[in-house]
Amino acid sequence: MAGNADDMLISLDALGKLDFIMAKARYSEKLNAWAPVFEGKACMNIRQGRHPLLQKAAVPVNLRLGEEFDTLVVTGPNTGGKTVALKTAGIMVLMAQSGLHLPAEEGSKIGMFRQVFTDIGDEQSIEQSLSTFSSHMVNIVEIIGKAGRESLVLLDELGAGTDPTEGAALAQSILEKLHSVGAKTIATTHYSELKNFAYTRERVENASVEFDAVTLRPTYRLLIGRPGRSNAFETASKLGLPEELVLRAREFLTVEQINVEELMHNLEKAQQEADANRAEAVELAEDARLLKEKYEKMEFELAQKRESILAKAGDEARVLVKTARLEAESTIKELRVKLAKEAAQVRENAIQEAREKLTTLQKKVNKAVPEKAIAGKVPGILRSGEEVYLPKFNQHGVVLAPSGPEGEVQVQVGIIKINVPLKELRRVEKTRPGGQSETAKVALNKAQEISFELDLRGLYAEDALLEVEKYLDDAFLAGLAKVRLIHGKGTGALRMAVHKHLSGHRRVKSFRLGEQGEGGFGVTVVDLA
């Protein structure tokens, strides 16, 4: 153990400190105490403070000092609680500066006092031949010599034990001295003269312990701002002293004393009414606060429910709108497919009807031309639109361009344009008025109107496919052998839709993407059947 002595001493010291801290914590819990709020100046504001030795029997007191006033003069009857209030103030300061919690409400404030001076109790000494008055004076003389701005001075029954008039005068001069050096002083007294002193000095305040005139008992409540009354006449009367004696005693009082006593009585009564009104106002304010919290909570819950209902309704509305949109899109798609089929059938019928008319017209033309016209002469000069016969092909045609310097003529034969030497042509002597047969005129007009390419860029797939279907029919009718569909590159969606439509189409022989110079991936070249 000797080798570990130093460590053991350190551990013992730490355990002692820890035990002390735990003891303070248990004591705080026992007293239901709170940590005070420390102020940087010498002052106190104790809310509902209880003397720790009285515990549950203590009546809580409110004590203020050092803020609005520096000196507090407490008056009132004996056994009314003046001394307990005085001791409560002192022990609260000492407990706070010793690191203990205070048996008071949360938020109580304690300042830093460098000294705490007290003169409390009867220190009469037979051995030293000192009377009650003398013993008090010895303490007070020492206190006056040491007290300063950061001192707390507690004086009980100041000026007692001597002639009341002289004692009151001495008490007032002592309070003036302590007040002049800035000491924070609480003094208890019976002298009514000191009540006037508090009224006529700045930063000096009266206080009293409350006395119930009905029960003739003190309530032990400390009332700051209200001077105390002796209540001697009321007490004597209620205890059975004949009324004539009480009235006679009042006659010995001076007019000034009677006026002051009456004024203080009225003041006390007004103060009690004010306190009652204040308590009622506090209660009403608390009720209003609770109601406000209740309705704010209800309003918050209603707002939450409202938001929840609106959010739910919004979700349901979005689901309905989405469902309706999907149904509408499905219906539109079905209508488009149906319309496309119907349009394709209408165009097919129109094409078939046109074919039948062309066939009929061709038969009429053949009947209208004499046989000898077929073996006509070789023409010398041909004009555009003039009908000729090609013996080599046994076909009639229409001149598209006059003969050139090499003796060739561009002729439209059915759906084909060819260059034919002039010597291989025969003039048809008889033609219809206007110089052109009906068959040739239909083929020529259709060939001139139809384009060799169709631009689908900017169209939706459904609309583009309708255009492709119509264009293929027109191109077939015009006798075109090859066409270009311009769908652009983009995302490729339109190109894939067009290719899917072309696959297996009755008018399409084959198709491919454009080569270099033809538009590349942005163009599909279609060979018609």
DSSP assignment of 39-67: -SSS-EEEEEE--TTTGGGPPPEEEEESS
Question: Mean pLDDT per 10-residue run, the chain (529 residues)?
Answer: 80 90 90 90 92 82 93 81 90 92 92 93 50 84 94 91 87 94 93 81 88 76 80 78 87 68 70 81 89 90 88 84 79 75 67 62 54 56 81 79 73 75 78 46 54 89 90 82 89 91 90 86 90
β-bridge pairing 37-38 and 109-110: parallel
The DSSP letter of residue 492 is S
For domain 450-528, the CATH class is: alpha beta
How much is the pLDDT for 371? 43
Q: What ranges do the domains of the chain cover?
A: 33-252, 260-356, 369-444, 450-528
Pair of tokens at residue 477: 């009718």
Pair of tokens at residue 350: 């129109």
**What is the rounded distance in angstroms from the CA atom of residue 136 to the CA atom of residue 126?**
14
How much is the pLDDT for 249? 85
**What is the rounded distance in angstroms from the CA atom of residue 476 to the CA atom of residue 351?**
9
Pseudo-torsion of CA 243, 247, 249, 255, nearest 10°? 160
Neighbours of 89 (CB within 10 A): 25
Helices 255-368 and 461-478 cross at an angle (nearest 10°) of 10
Residue 183 near residue 113 (C-beta atoms within 8 A):
no
For domain 369-444, the CATH class is: mainly beta
Asked, colleague to colleague, whether 369-444 and 450-528 share their fold, the answer is no
β-bridge pairing 151-155 and 184-189: parallel
Residue 109 near residue 36 (C-beta atoms within 8 A):
yes
Q: Which CATH superfamily is domain 33-252 in?
A: P-loop containing nucleotide triphosphate hydrolases (3.40.50.300)
Backbone torsion region of residue 244, taken as left when φ is above 0, otherwise alpha when ψ lies between -120 and 50, otherwise beta: alpha
